[in-house]
Amino acid sequence: MEFSTSAQWDFSVILFNKYAVKGGDPDQLSNCELKELIEKEFPDSAKVSNTSIDAIFKEMDKNSDGEVSFEEFKAVISKLKGCGP
């Protein structure tokens, strides 16, 4: 499914905020929060193993702080939706 730039942004913000507030820093996603988001919001991607999700998390956590910022999250969403590099 293709998104317009505005719709992509809105979608990303809504998803990030929905899961980031579940625990810890509300401005960051933990590995567990990202896994839950992928399993619930992208059921086709949920077939991916936990090891693969861990690898995605590690790749996206550019500053290695153990959490994914919104900027890092946008890259994850782009990959999952097939809209990014």
User: The whole model's pTM is what?
Assistant: 0.72
Category of 61 on φ-ψ map: left (φ > 0), alpha (ψ -120 to 50) or beta: beta
pLDDT at 49: 82
Report the pLDDT value the prediction gives residue 69, as an integer from 0 to 100.
Answer: 93
In order along its 85 residues, the chain shows pLDDT tens digits of 344 567 777 888 898 999 998 888 899 999 999 888 888 887 776 577 888 888 888 988 989 999 999 988 877 666 666 554 4
Residues present in the chain in total: 85
Number of domains in the chain: 1
CATH number for the domain spanning 19: value is 1.10.238.10
